[in-house]
Amino acid sequence: MLELNQLRKDLEAMENSILFALSERSRFMLNNNIYMPGATGIPGLSLFGFMLRATEELHAKLGNYLSAEDVPFSNNLPKPIIKKELVAINLKPTCINLNQEVMLIYKNLIPKLCRKGDDGCYVLTATLDINALQLISRRVHYGFLIAESKYLSDTNSYRKLIETKNKDGLLKKLTNHNAERVVLERVTKKARSYNLKPELVLWLYKNVISLTKKAELMYLLQR
């Protein structure tokens, strides 16, 4: 059974990875050229888009997207070429992908995170962007596991809400305001340790929590 307390510990561990990734990215300038199609010499593509696709093609071949919480930004990726042992987690199959919204959050974040200007470190900053994006995406889609855990702990109540497609009722039942407050306070305190602006981390995590709950809701409605 998926233990909610353990999943929350997993989410707390992810905080450190996300904040470190953002701290690493913030050391470099915005380098807006990496997001502009053709600006770095790749016809019709941005360097960031080109590298994201190439990275995800490699990860797909290595079986990284066999886990429900690891969701790619790219479509039509190659099938895995190696065998990968997975921890048995009984999740219902889902094709839910919230990465367009993750990308939008990140695009709004990055100009506030980095200094304006161009330091020429294009490949490195694109690599750091991709790492941060994938970590945030994994945190959001971890909502599938959280939703399943909550469902298994109170199946009858959740089943009634799902059968009647009571979105408001489901969202209310999924929401734990105290747990959210603890997370927001914790990441805000951690921000300074990573040389990040607390108000920026708070903004990010409010959006991440909201999107995680959307993942939980959507998963249960199609369960």
pLDDT at 11: 96
Q: Provide the angle, in degrees to the nearest 10, between the axes of the packed helices 155-163 and 198-221.
A: 80
d(CA 26, CA 102) in angstroms, rounded, equals 18
Amino acid identity, position 83: K
d(CA 167, CA 161) in angstroms, rounded, equals 8
Q: Please list the rounded mean pLDDT of every run of 10 residues in the chain (223 residues).
A: 88 97 98 97 96 98 92 96 70 90 98 98 98 98 96 95 96 96 97 97 98 98 92
Give the Å distances, CA to CA, from 18 to 55, 62, 166: 18, 23, 33
pLDDT at 2: 80
For the chain, counts of helices (H) and of strands (E): 9, 0
Q: Quick one: 1 exposed, middle or buried, by C-beta within 10 A (0-12, 13-18, 19+)?
A: exposed
pLDDT at 88: 53
* pTM for the structure as a whole: 0.95
Say if residues 180 and 45 touch (Cβ distance below 8 Å).
no
pLDDT at 1: 59
Q: Where are the domains of the chain?
A: 4-221
Reference 138, options 65, 82, 56, 189; nearest CA is 65
Q: Quick one: 183 exposed, middle or buried, by C-beta within 10 A (0-12, 13-18, 19+)?
A: buried
pLDDT at 85: 65
Q: Which residues are catalytic?
A: 8, 139, 150, 176, 180, 212, 216
- What is the CATH T-level fold of the domain 4-221, as seen in this structure? Chorismate Mutase, subunit A (1.10.590)
d(CA 210, CA 200) in angstroms, rounded, equals 16
Give the Å distances, CA to CA, from 44 to 70, 77, 122: 28, 20, 17
